[in-house]
Amino acid sequence: MGEKTEYSPGDKAPNDAIYMEVGENSFHSEIQDPKQIKLNRGDTFPETTNKDRKWKKKKHALTH
C-alpha cells in the first residue's frame, strides 16, 4: 500500500515539503494561484480555503 497523496486539514504531514491546495478532483479543477504552505514532517495541515479542497505535495500537484 502506497503513501497517501492528498491530505485533509488536520492530517499530519508525512514529509518535509511544500504543499499546495488542490481541488477535490485535482485533474479537472485547477485552482488559479493556489495557496501553498511549507510543512515539516509531523506538522498538522491547516484549513483549506473551502471544504472541497485538499493539500497535495507541490511536486505531485504539478504533475497530475
- pLDDT (tens digit, 0 to 9) for every residue of the chain, 64 residues total? 677 899 999 999 999 999 999 986 655 456 778 899 999 999 999 999 988 899 999 976 566 5
Predicted local confidence at residue 45, as pLDDT: 98
pLDDT at 24: 63
CA dist 51 and 42 (Å) reads: 22
Give the pLDDT confidence score for residue 1 in this predicted structure: 61
Per-residue pLDDT at 29: 54
Question: Which residue shows C-alpha cell 484549513?
Answer: 47
3-state class (DSSP) for residue 18: strand
pLDDT value at residue 31 = 74
Strand (E) or helix (H) holding 28: none
- 33: alpha, beta or left, given left = phi > 0 and alpha = psi -120 to 50? left
